[in-house]
Chain A
Amino acid sequence: MTEPYVILIGLEVHVQLLTRSKLFCGCSTRFGAPPNTQTCPVCIGMPGSLPVINRQAVQLALRTAVALNCTIPRSTKWDRKQYFYPDLPKGYQISQYDLPLSHCGWLEISDPKGAFASKRVGITRAHLEEDAGKSMHDEAVGRADSRIDLNRAGTPLLEIVSEPDLRSPAEAKCYLTELKLLLGYLGVSDCNMQEGSLRVDANINLHVGTADGPVPTPIVEVKNMNSFRAVERALSYEAERQWRLWQELGVRLGEPGGHKTTRGWDEGRQATYEQRAKEESSDYRYFPDPDLLPVVLPEETVESVRASLGELPAALRARLETGYGITPYDADVLVNQGRALVDYYLAVADACGDGKTACNWIQQGVLRWLNDRQTTIDAYPVPATEFAALLKAVLAGELTTSRGREVLAEMIDHGETVEQAMKRLGIERVDEAELETLCRRLLEANPKIVAQVQAGKEKAVGSLIGQAKKHNPNADPGRVKDICLKLIAGM
């Protein structure tokens, strides 16, 4: 250990579930509509309105919880979390307190480059709750006006709380990446941080090694991080800040001045700043919501959800490594692109029969193309069958890798099959006999080179390859070299 302390990080992730309607009413959850156009008496908390649970939200939450290896209780209930804020129209948020939908799960993370050992990160709980509205503070000169948009109020959120098992900002980032990937595979959330459909709060402190054993520093909750990279940076900053503070003041968790505080991440300054300094334990006065009945989750329901999960990232990576002979790093790259790309890869690999080649070509040929255009595999113009046909030609030696790339470019640009593209480029398969005739002719015309080769300078044959290409651009340099050497040896 380089530093005399251990970092403890726990993450609270809120993800918006991909339901058509809100958690307790029929309003749309679409992002970006004009303010207050997706509201009804229920989600704006009109007197007399009552919530009715959205079954789809429960289903999506359950999918996630099962995939996170959580324990699912037989029944779960709803609680009111009470506080006053203008974007919370009822004066309470419907959430889950002491009987959450799931608890005690784990998510395995690993670093494909081996920066840390793979580990299971404990999931404390994953529960459903409704989102609040959005406050927009108008700081225009002369007036401090606040406007409330309740379109988001009542949107279903799944809050996923991890144990403080993460030991570095890099692990935290890896956990988030893996979680996001999993949620994408499950089809439960689009995890768009910019649109707020994935939000992260982090709790961090240090356990400093002392003669009397490890001493915890005060816990800090960090908010306002709007990318995974920001989370990593904020946590690095915060760990260093806490270490500095410990060295200066030596305040431990729970001592006077050692209570939990909340800090925000300032992306511009690349620093955290104090948000809530006062020692206040908020009392949310949770109690069961009498407007809603507990949700019963029979064993069969949980099992049918489990059966419907499909192949999740961890299993998929393992299958690619063992079944297709690619490295953990490559498997990670492919799986991280999402299920659709993996399916494309599998189709290509299965059809061309070489997982490794398929992987290389897809990383260089497909991923780069997709990345340049910021698009997804659905937009890729070459069908998997044609891509496989191309690789087959390369593997059979009908095309060199560089010629293959040219063919691929043609296929993309003109939407052509391998055959069509090869024809357009004037590429034809050169007959072995034809190639031998050509080589024989070249050797006869270049006795000097033959002599050099016979004298042990094999490299000299290189200039023959150039000449061969001039005569026939489709001549495979490797084959030309092999044939020439064979013929010289037989002379």
Chain B
Amino acid sequence: MISLLDHTATILLRQLQAGALSAVELAQAYMDQIDRCDGTVKAFLHIHADSVLEQAERIDRKRAAGQPVGRLAGLPVAVKDLLCQEGQLTTCASHMLGNFHPPYDATAIRKLKEADAVLLGRTNLDEFAMGGSTENSAFQKTTNPWDPQRIPGGSSGGSAACVAARMAPLAVGTDTGGSIRCPAALCGVTGLKPSYGRVSRFGLVAFASSLDQIGPIAQTAEDCALLLEVLAGHDPNDSTSVNRPVPAYSLAVRRPLVGLRLGLVREHFGEGLDGEVEQAVREAIRVYESLGATVAEVSLPHSRYAVATYYIIASCEASANLARYDGAHYGYRTKEPAMLDELKHQRKQLHEAGDSAGLEALDSALIRMYRCSRSEGFGLEVKRRVMLGTYALSAGYYDAYYLKALKVRRLIHRDFQEAFKGVDLIVGPVTPTPAYKLGEKADDPLAMYLFDLYTASTNLAGLPGIAVPCGFSTGRLPIGLHLQAPPFEDERLLRAATMFQQATDWHTAAP
């Protein structure tokens, strides 16, 4: 018998609407599943234990009283701990914000509340979304529900893992260079990074402002369409959000695309791509062909610079975005008495040694407070990127790094424009390999960065991209298919993904 938890959000919503299922029953079922599984998966940083059933009851009451209810009424949603929620701990998986309770809701959170979603809890991530494995969380390491020895991918690892482990039917993630699509692929679920500007970033704690997008993670593209419909839309609080109407994605999603033209990126099927991943992706393309799609090879000549370009731009923006965490206003501050004692001690030593140059160079108390608060509050990967970005923006290096990266970004964008002249979608792998072992790349940041090879350029060009389950490795690890569309063709992407999911059942597999 198919369990309640194996249903897609679309089906659950239908049951809720029909009165066959109550929001409380559903919320309880997920809470029970969290109790059973999250000890191993560790997808959640915190669960709104005391309010989940309350939220669900309120929605049931509304429904029973015949009051109008929101688009997602009664559906539980898990949210990456990077979106501000009023009064709720929002940590960004960082000690820096370990005790931070925002005074306001992110627009995406407000929309979820208005849609009567049941907010389940906050999911784990790489600290400030910097990473591809969720190992950079300051609090816990999330494991892959398909193999607890392996990473779930990142940075939205908690969101993808909780959907894969059936601890939530819907989850919200964020994607800066692949952070929705990579964990979705590695956990065997569907994850959409919308077009840049489609979803408001207001209240999303910024990593790299020109690349960050909030997006849905769910079992199916149809469920992603449902959630995107709620999240998307213009927001006067976000100047980069785009003022164009939100299509009824969830209604359009089941309409197949006729005469679909797929583009296969020549450069994405080369060195570094795992054989089993390549095989699964090529098999998925054959499925499309059997559905009437044509396939052509396209070239993205600058795609080999995507990772380098991405890491310069993202780190530059991050170095400025994270400057506000300085211990002065909120968040972590170093223990001041100890800091001042040490400073005093150092001053005394330098004085006794007659080291006037040393005294001159010694920090003021304020500078030392900044230095200690940031050194202690941030994790290694965050510090690495802040350093990288600070360096690349420094006088004398700006032109060689940041400015050059902007130019390459434009070329990458142009590559896509050229490619989309002949094809409707670009198709390829999401990640070069299936999930690797926890700790495997912990000491090799470059190898970790290269994992974004196929996804980073989507963000650089502002395109929508989706990861769809398309097979398993021999070790039964999920493999993802990557589809990309021109800007604001999110609907095309969702329809194409749904076509595939109607023809295959990879997305129904549960660990």
**A residues engaging B (CB < 8 A)?**
41, 44-53, 80, 82, 84, 86, 89-92, 148, 281, 283, 285-287, 290-293
- Among the stretches B22-30, B226-234, B320-328, B423-431, the one at the interface with A is B320-328
Residues A89 and B324 in contact, CB atoms below 8 Å apart: yes
CA–CA, A52 and B328, complex, Å:
24
* Interface status of B202 (Cβ within 8 A of chain A): yes
Residues A46 and B370 in contact, CB atoms below 8 Å apart: no
Contact for B393 among A45, A89, A285, CB less than 8 A: A285
Q: Which of A49, A50, A52, A292 has the most CB of B within 10 A?
A: A50
CA–CA, A281 and B395, complex, Å:
10
CA–CA, A291 and B206, complex, Å:
10
CA–CA, A283 and B393, complex, Å:
9
Residues A48 and B320 in contact, CB atoms below 8 Å apart: no
* Interface status of B335 (Cβ within 8 A of chain A): no
Contact for A90 among B324, B330, B367, B393, CB less than 8 A: B324
Given known contacts A48-B203, A86-B328, A283-B395, A41 and B103 CB-to-CB distance under 8 angstroms: yes
* Interface status of B88 (Cβ within 8 A of chain A): no
Q: Which A residues touch B316, using CB under 8 A?
A: 287
Closest 6 CB pairs of A and B: A91-B323, A290-B210, A290-B209, A285-B393, A48-B203, A47-B205
* Interface status of B92 (Cβ within 8 A of chain A): yes
Which residue of chain B lies nearest to A144 when distances are taken between CB atoms in the complex?
A: B365
Given known contacts A89-B329, A287-B402, A45 and B239 CB-to-CB distance under 8 angstroms: no
Q: How many A-B residue pairs have CB under 8 A?
A: 99
Residues B202 and A50 in contact, CB atoms below 8 Å apart: yes
Contact for A48 among B83, B326, B367, B394, CB less than 8 A: B83
Q: Which B residues touch A287, using CB under 8 A?
A: 316, 320, 393, 398, 402
B339 to chain A, nearest CB (A): 15
Q: Which B residues touch A281, using CB under 8 A?
A: 395
* Interface status of B150 (Cβ within 8 A of chain A): no
Given known contacts A47-B102, A48-B102, A287-B393, A53 and B239 CB-to-CB distance under 8 angstroms: yes
* Interface status of B90 (Cβ within 8 A of chain A): yes
Taking CB atoms and an 8 Å cut-off, the chain B residues in 84-103 that contact chain A are: 84, 90, 92, 97, 100, 102-103
Residues A82 and B323 in contact, CB atoms below 8 Å apart: yes
B47 to chain A, nearest CB (A): 21
Residues A80 and B320 in contact, CB atoms below 8 Å apart: yes
Contact for A293 among B208, B240, B320, B330, CB less than 8 A: B240
Q: Which B residues touch A45, using CB under 8 A?
A: 324, 329
CA–CA, A283 and B390, complex, Å:
10
**B residues engaging A (CB < 8 A)?**
83-84, 90, 92, 97, 100, 102-104, 106, 201-206, 208-210, 236-240, 316-317, 319-320, 322-326, 328-330, 366-367, 370, 390, 393-395, 398, 402
Residues A47 and B202 in contact, CB atoms below 8 Å apart: no
Q: Which A residues touch B203, using CB under 8 A?
A: 48-49
Q: Which A residues touch B395, using CB under 8 A?
A: 281, 283, 285
11 contacts between A and B (CB under 8 A): A47-B206, A47-B325, A48-B84, A49-B104, A50-B202, A52-B239, A82-B320, A92-B320, A285-B320, A285-B394, A286-B393
Residues A52 and B92 in contact, CB atoms below 8 Å apart: no
Residues B326 and A84 in contact, CB atoms below 8 Å apart: yes
CA–CA, A285 and B203, complex, Å:
25
Residues B238 and A47 in contact, CB atoms below 8 Å apart: no
**Sample of 4 further A-B pairs with CB below 8 A, known A46-B330, A90-B324:** A48-B202, A89-B329, A91-B323, A290-B317
CA–CA, A239 and B325, complex, Å:
43
CA–CA, A281 and B330, complex, Å:
30
Which residue of chain A lies nearest to B128 when distances are taken between CB atoms in the complex?
A: A47
Which residue of chain A lies nearest to B374 when distances are taken between CB atoms in the complex?
A: A84
Given known contacts A285-B394, A290-B210, A50 and B320 CB-to-CB distance under 8 angstroms: no
Which residue of chain A lies nearest to B406 when distances are taken between CB atoms in the complex?
A: A288
Residues A92 and B92 in contact, CB atoms below 8 Å apart: no
CA–CA, A415 and B278, complex, Å:
95
Residues A292 and B239 in contact, CB atoms below 8 Å apart: yes
CA–CA, A186 and B55, complex, Å:
55
Contact for A46 among B102, B323, B366, CB less than 8 A: B102
Residues A84 and B394 in contact, CB atoms below 8 Å apart: no
Q: Which of B90, B103, B328, B367 has the most CB of A within 10 A?
A: B328
CA–CA, A91 and B326, complex, Å:
8
CA–CA, A47 and B91, complex, Å:
10
B1 to chain A, nearest CB (A): 43
CA–CA, A27 and B402, complex, Å:
34
Q: Which B residues touch A148, using CB under 8 A?
A: 328-329
Which residue of chain B lies nearest to A90 when distances are taken between CB atoms in the complex?
A: B324
CA–CA, A77 and B509, complex, Å:
49
